[in-house]
Structure 1
Amino acid sequence: MQTVLISGGGIAGPVLAHWLHRHGFGPTVVERAPGPRPGGQAVDIRGVALDVIERMGLLEQARGVRTRMRGMSILDPGGHEIDRSTESTFSSGRLDSDDIELLREDLVRMVQEHTRADAEYLFGDSIAALQEDGAGVRVDFVHGASRTFDLVIGADGLHSTVRRLAFGPEERFVHHLGSYLSVFGADNFLGLDDWQVWLRDGDAGFGIMSVRDNTELRIAFGFESGPLALDQRDSGALRRLVVDKLSSLSWEGARLAKAAEEAPDFYCDAMAQIRMDHWSRGRVALLGDAGYCPSPISGQGTSLALVGAHELADCLARTPGDHRAAFSRYERRMRPFVTLNQALATENPGGPASEASLAHAKNALSLDG
């Protein structure tokens, strides 16, 4: 049995573990966090990614926890409604679509629970070093003892440790898109009822939606900026920056700033894409945001992770013992799909891509191809 170490226990990693187990591999998932990460924005499962979830037996469960938006309001900087829609929202698109919008934390919990029996999970640890030889990849962990695996897959996000160790510094592959996004939760102090509000004030703006039976809010705050000279691991500096910017907003700035200051699930990062000529080197390959992050602006990061996991496992199963052929097939299969979905983030700067572009991109691959 070939052993595969997967770095990252978010969405892509556990889904890959599921399909690898189904194909007879022995997957191990290492995750830096001590358990499922709470918080995060609403994410979308669209097009062919719905087929992946259905084949995993999770489609009805995903539908059961989907958001139930009735529509959205667009506000001016003073908080006055200037437009509204009960047909679509900026976060999920058309409300009558078969696509599923759900909270990231719900999807993470779902796929982790579904795969606990299929894979070994190492929570609270991460990879410190990789050393490949003819027999496999020796992996040194930050906390656990060193082990050797046949293959290593980086599914560890925009700031991938596996990518840095195997391919080089992050700055070679990150393409900044000119803005930052912060996401955090709060009590529903706006009294929203299955509704979203969107507002732009100068070079900043936010989208707020009610979740958890309207008891909570998820706040996504974005602001225009070039790359900041801040250590991404210094969440305190990023939080102070976001609090300061929120405080200057004309409408609800004080309460939004207080929510960001107190939120236990505070997140902030650059809107950026990962663009690479190759997603594999030797016995190491990249999956999802680690190899081809499209940025949240595209709305397709989760779908790329789900489809990529299915395709990578399928390619490894089709070429038993030949990882080079498998990784080559994986790139041929996925790259056109990735290119179309990354283009959604840059098609209409400052706004969503067209419905036609999204419909084409989300369905531009067949799982049985």
Structure 2
Amino acid sequence: MRKFGVRWRLFTAPSILGLEGTGVMHNTTGRNALALPARGNSELRVGLSFAADHLDYDRRDRRQQEDLVAKHFAGAGWQVPRLLAAMREAEEFFFDSSGQVVMDSWSTGRTALLGDAAHCAAPTSGRGTSQALIGAYVLAGELAETPGHATAFAAYERHLRGYVERNQRHGRAAARWFLQPPTEPPVEVADDVVPLKHYA
């Protein structure tokens, strides 16, 4: 696992910002608050992320984790205090670090991995779903027309490895940009085109 030194708290909140059809993001150095309208603008999907290389906390203690988030966002301004208050009331809970799965091989024996299990590019890449779907298509196609699973697994990985590595570079660059003030130059968008073979 390649860690980015970024922690995320994701939750659903009432539509307290009055957003209609578009999301907003507030960046300060080392912190990012993101809010996206959902369910016909009746809810918010909120992400609070901050830079932290190492944190000591009990993974079963939600209150302790929320206190860590609140501490790192103290004085952040904008609508952050309202989002922190909504965080405390949210029914669901997700708090974790962000990173990438980097493996020398995506298969062993008769087992092959797909999607995030094989090559997570991180949420900041925006490529998780497309990598999983493209990978499933290629793997299924190679298994259907290549004699022997070992040969099919090798072809699947050979075909996708460059695409995945580009997406992972994008995920790393975007993670750095995500926690910078808005005066920083935007991250270069990755080339996400992979030449897909037609399988009969």
**TM bucket normalised to smaller:** 0.7 to 0.9
Quote how far apart the aligned CAs of 1:185 are.
0.9
Residue 187 of structure 2 corresponds to which residue in structure 1?
Answer: 353
Which residue is 1:365 aligned to? 195
Mapped to 2, the partners of 1:206 and 1:367 lie a distance apart of: 40
Cα 1:202/1:336, change in 2 over 3 Å? closer
Letter of the structure 1 residue corresponding to residue 79 of structure 2 = E
1:206 counterpart SS class: strand
Structure 1: gaps of 5 or more residues = 1-173
Within 5 Å, give how 1:160-309 maps onto structure 2.
174-230=1-57, 234=60, 236=62, 237-246=64-73, 248-309=75-136
Counterpart-to-counterpart distance in 1, 2:113 and 2:57: 26
Counterpart amino acid of residue 302 in structure 1: T
For this pair of structures, how many residues does the alignment match? 190
Find 1:326's aligned residue among 131, 145, 152.
152
TM-score w.r.t. structure 1 length?
A: 0.47
C-alpha distance 235-195 of structure 1, shift in aligned 2 (>3 A): farther
Counterpart CA distance in 2 for 1:365 and 1:264 is 43
The whole-number CA distance in structure 2 between the counterparts of 1:199 and 1:228 is 23
Cα gap change, 1:230 to 1:314, in 2 (>3 Å): farther
Q: Deviations over 1:287-335 (max 9, x none)?
A: 1111111111111111111111111211221235x22112111111111
Contact 2:26 2:78 in 1 (8 A): no
Maintained 8 Å contact 1:182/1:221? yes
Asked if residue 338 in structure 1 is aligned to residue 172 in structure 2, the reply is no
Partner-residue secondary structure (3-state), 1:346: helix
Question: Any idea what the Cα deviations from partners look like across 1:31-78, whole Å, max 9, x if unmatched?
Answer: xxxxxxxxxxxxxxxxxxxxxxxxxxxxxxxxxxxxxxxxxxxxxxxx
Equivalent residue, structure 2, for 1:37: none
Q: Which sections of structure 2, spanning at least 5 residues, go unmatched?
A: 179-185
> By percentage of residues, which structure has more strand?
1
| Letter of the 2:22 counterpart | W
Is the partner of 2:112 in helix, strand or coil?
Answer: strand
User: Would the aligned equivalents of 1:244 and 1:257 in 2 still touch at CA under 8 Å?
Assistant: no
Amino acid at match of 1:366: L
SS in 1 for 2:177: coil
TM-score w.r.t. the length of structure 2 is 0.84
Separation in 1, partners of 2:110, 2:55: 34
Is contact 2:101–2:117 with CA below 8 Å preserved after alignment?
A: yes
Whole-Å separation in 2 of the counterparts to 1:227 and 1:239 = 16
Supply the AA of the counterpart residue of 1:334: L
**3-state DSSP of counterpart to 2:47:** strand
Query: Superposition pairs for residues 106-185 of structure 1, below 5 Å?
Result: 174-185=1-12
Q: Tell me how large the CA RMSD over aligned residues is.
A: 2.2
Secondary structure in 1 matching 2:44? strand
Equivalent-residue separation in structure 2 for 1:367 and 1:188 (angstroms): 44
| Contact kept in structure 2, 1:246 and 1:256, CA below 8 Å | no
AA matched with 1:329: A
Mapped contact 1:243–1:258 kept (Cα < 8 A): no
Q: Distance in 2 between matches of 1:200 and 1:344?
A: 19
* Aligned-partner residue type, residue 275 of structure 1: V
Contact 2:100–2:122 (8 Å) recurs in 1: yes
Could you list the per-position Cα deviations for residues 85-128 of structure 1 after superposition, in whole angstroms to 9, with x for gaps in the alignment?
xxxxxxxxxxxxxxxxxxxxxxxxxxxxxxxxxxxxxxxxxxxx
8 Å CA contact 1:292, 1:338 repeated in 2: yes
State how far apart, in whole Å, the 1-side matches of 2:99 and 2:111 are.
Answer: 23
Percent identity for Structure 1 against Structure 2: 35
Superposition pairs of residues 307-322 of structure 1, within 5 angstroms: 307-319=134-146, 322=148
Question: Secondary structure of the equivalent of 1:276?
Answer: coil
The structure carrying a bigger helix percent of its residues is 2
